[in-house]
Structures are given as C-alpha cells and as structure tokens.
Chains A and B, each alone.
Chain A
C-alpha cells in the first residue's frame, strides 16, 4: 500500500476532516464544488463516505436495543410524542407484557396547558382553572391519570389526588402542588427548576423520575427516587427545616405528628421561602437506601408488586384502586403481611387470595368491605403464623 502523505490542500484531507471531525465552512464549500465537478469525483466521495457509514455499526454500544424498545413502548402508550400529536383515534393498545391496557384513549387539551389521557368507562378526572390562572387537576377514587405538562414532563396521578399549578408554569420555574400520590418523570431542563410542594415536604427535582406520596389521612409522607437526584425540604410550619438530597433507590419517609381529615382539600400551599435551619429534627424522618423502587411506584401500572405489605397499608391502596371502603372489624388483622402481584384481578379475587395467607373473612356490601378475623382458621392452620407477626 502506498504511503499516503497529505499536502495542505488535498481533497482527501477535506473529506476525512468532514467525515471524522469538523471542517471549516470555507473548506466545505470547496469540497462541495469539487464533488459536483463530475461523477467520478462524486463516486469517489461516496465510496469513502459509505465506508465510513458502514463501519459505524460497532459504535454506540451504549444503546441497548431491548431497553430502547421498552422506552419506545411507553411512548406508544402515551399515544404520541410531544404536544403536537393532535387528536388520536381510539385504538386498542396491547403491546408489552408489563403494561397491559385494553382501553380506549382520548386525547384532551385542557386550557392549552396539559394533555391528559383517561380510560373512557372509568370516572374521569376533573380539570378546572380559576380566575387567578391556577389550574387544578383532580382524580377521583378508583381512577388514575396520566398527564403531560407543557414541558413534556409526565405525571401519573393516583386515585384521590389533586395537583395545582399556575399558567406561568415553565416560564421561569416549573412549580406545582400535590395532595395525594403522583409519580413524576421530569423533562430535563436545568434552566427551569422543577418543584413539587406538599403539606410537609417540598421536592426539588434535579433529575428525572420520582414518586411522592402525601395523602392527608395517612401517617407518613414519602418521596421515593428512581432516577436522577432530588432535593427534599422538610417543612415544619415556618421555623426549622431540613434539606435532604436523595440518590437513586432512596426513599424518604416523614412521620407526621397528627393525621388530618380524610380527603385532599383545596390546596392553597405556595412555595414559601424558609429561614435557615437552627436545629435539625431528625427523629421524624427516616431515609431508606437501596430499596426496590418498583414496590412504591408500580401503583401507576395496572400491575402492582407487593412485598411484605401489612394489611394496614395495603387496605388504603385497595380502597383507592377499587373505590371501595375497607373496614377492619378486628384490629389484629392489620398486622398480617402480604406479598404478591396484582394485575387484573377483581377485588373478590384479591380478598380470596388474602384468605389463603391470613385468617380473615370478608363481607362485601355495596361499596364497603368488612374484614373480620376467622377464629377457626386462626387457631387452626394459621396458629404458627400468628406468632411470627411483629
């Protein structure tokens, strides 16, 4: 092979620069002229260019095709990429074994600011805007919603949840308030900070996907981080607060002093500037690391993954999913733990499954379920299990 030595103006030099690196505009013009002189030149250029293109198949190993397909599926289920997807026709979406949704999708524009999808034969969420330009979205019990914000941030709202945000969302900051539970997939934009305010904690998102659970009638408020980074401020009626920076697979749990009333009230919480903290109250806060995030985020899928969940906390989850009320006739039942996967089962099927591992009996009356201890079972086959409960 003859040794190649380039002189300053050689065309080959330009071609190689163009393909492998960068080329000055003036040189690009020259190259273009040269290519267009005759077909021989053009063919020569194409030969090198094609070789360059074809040799690229080994690069970009960072792309995992399987993961890419999974990401693509999510986009398909959202029904379109970006805000200019227009009106979708109804169609059955049945693509992955993880997200099975047999439903009709409707695309809806709310005041030009958010896109929501909901299942047409389920109770719908309500969207309202008041004169101050505050937009409020609420999901009723028994329903979940997926909404897309104007900046492409996706938010899954669990049942009985309300979020509010201003019409100025996205102009300088991206702020919203949350009462209930939501899973956020925040679109990357470091120039517009994204914050979620709940009664007890504020979350500043520096990265991508996280879950916040802040129901007023529960004892704890928590934030679970899947990907990226979030900065959680723990609020305490003005004075002291603590900042915690979470990393992926961390979950922060804030133990409230008292529970409040049942439902999410009209949220008028705004982002308030806090004073510097003087002393730090850590006993109200626990941080778990390296958790299985899908345990806390799978509610947004129709498939739930439950791991050693005591009936005490499982019951409200079921209440929301099925829009039913669950009453414990026997307090002891609350401590029994369950592990399993819930997909498309009816509430009867789930209760029957629970019966296999706990001495419970149930009665369904319209939309109320009563759970009672089944004494015979408890003293019989469940005798040994009883003692293992902590």
Chain B
C-alpha cells in the first residue's frame, strides 16, 4: 500500500492523528535504521525518531513544509542524529570512534540526503532488488556481508569466525556492495 506522504501531512496539519499513525508506522523502520547508521547506536535511534515525530505533531499548526514530507522527515532525523552525536562528543565517554571532531565533520559533510536516495529508501522494489542481489552473491561473500550488515559484527570478529584475514573480509564486503549498487542502478 502506497502511503501518500504529502497528503498525510495535510491531514496531520488538520489534527488527524490517524494520519500521524500511518506515517509513523510506514516510515518508522527506515528512519530508525538511518538514525542508527549515523549515530552507531540503535537504542538511541528510536528516541531520535520519536522526538522528530513529537516535534512535528506538537508544532503542526505553525510548521510549514514545502516540498516532500518524506524528505523533511529524513532531514529532521538526520539533523537530530547529528546533534546527538555532537553532544556525546562533549560528554565524558566517547561511545565509538565516530566521535572525534574530524569524524563529526566528516559525517555531516558526507551524509548527504537527496530525494533520489530517500525515494529509494522507501520504494518497495529496493528491498526486493537488494535481497535478490544478496542471494546471488557467492556463498562466502554473502556470509561475510550478512554477518557485517545484519549481525553487526566487527571485521575482526568475522575474520576470526571464518578463519579469514581482515583484508579478505573487507574485500568481500566491497564486492557485495558493488553488486548491490549495480542491482539498484538497474
């Protein structure tokens, strides 16, 4: 079922909470994945996404969104996530290696959101194309990629588990990403 995001935004502005629910339930997983990607912390990701929805709901009468509501959601999550890691940077513990100043700058420079990417994130075909591409990978390559992407293992852990060198692990991941990239390009 295609959810017309811009139409939902109109309804949300009018105070229809069903529209909010619909958008939330449709977009939640993708947004949370994205927030998780930027911050490197999945438990924080849900909070970040919920904060964004909260602000949208609370400010719906004053808020004016031109263009894609979907893109707005993504941009908001993007900015909020960056703020979160920036705050962590100044805190006592650094949570992961993405915390140093250079890293933070790098992320905000390179996590460039464009409509094309956003549309891809939501498109049904994307998931299917990617699943297919992963299925067609050579066995070891697929194994490595899945351990890395879906189980979140570090490269050193994968290397130890499968008896490979770290460079080989990275090579496999690289191959997998290339395959996915070409599958998405169609």
Give A contacts to B, CB under 8 Å: 1, 4-6, 12-13, 15-17, 19-25, 28-29, 31-32, 35, 45-60, 63, 65-66, 68-69, 71-72, 75-76, 80-81, 88, 94-95
Contacts and interface: CB of A to CB of B under 8 A. Distances in A.
A47 B181 CA distance: 7
17 contacts: A5-B171, A6-B171, A6-B174, A22-B98, A25-B100, A35-B110, A46-B110, A46-B112, A48-B174, A50-B184, A54-B180, A55-B149, A60-B33, A63-B29, A68-B46, A71-B46, A81-B47
Contact of A71 (B50, B150, B179, B180): B50
A57 B30 contact: yes
Contacts of A63: 28-29, 32, 46
Nearest to A50: B117
Interface string B17-48: 10001001100111011101100001001110
Given A5-B171, A59-B152, A68-B46, A76 B54 contact: yes
A4 B175 contact: yes
B75 interface: no
Contacts of B148: 20-21
A50 B170 contact: no
B37 A32 contact: no
B112 to A, nearest CB: 7
B101 to A, nearest CB: 9
A75 B50 contact: yes
B71 interface: no
Contacts of A13: 167, 170
B177 A95 contact: no
Contact of A53 (B25, B28, B57, B121): B121
Nearest to B34: A53
Given A45-B110, A55-B130, A23 B97 contact: yes
B58 interface: yes
B120 interface: yes
- Interface of chain B, helix or strand or loop or mixed? helix
Contacts of A51: 177-178, 180-181, 184
A369 B178 CA distance: 76
Contacts of B90: none
A324 B59 CA distance: 40
A43 to B, nearest CB: 11
Nearest to B134: A55
B177 to A, nearest CB: 5
A52 B111 CA distance: 12
B67 to A, nearest CB: 21
Contact of A54 (B120, B150, B173): B120
Contacts of B120: 50, 54
Contact of A31 (B29, B50, B106, B149): B106
B139 interface: no
Interface of B: 17, 21, 24-25, 28-30, 32-34, 36-37, 42, 45-47, 50-51, 53-54, 57-58, 96-98, 100, 102-103, 105-106, 109-112, 117, 120-121, 126-127, 130-131, 134, 148-150, 152, 154-156, 167, 170-171, 173-175, 177-181, 184
Nearest to B106: A32
Most buried by A among B98, B112, B155, B177: B177
Given A69-B24, A75-B54, A4 B174 contact: yes
Contacts of B30: 57
A84 to B, nearest CB: 11
Nearest to A59: B150
A20 B54 contact: no
Nearest to B121: A54
Contact of A59 (B50, B131, B149): B149
Given A58-B150, A72-B53, A4 B171 contact: yes
A53 B37 contact: yes
B97 A22 contact: yes
10 nearest A-B pairs in the assembled complex, by CB-CB distance: A22-B97, A51-B180, A16-B170, A51-B181, A4-B171, A21-B155, A56-B33, A51-B177, A59-B150, A6-B167
Contacts of A75: 50, 54
B155 to A, nearest CB: 5
B109 A72 contact: no
B170 A28 contact: no
Contacts of B150: 58-59
B53 A53 contact: no
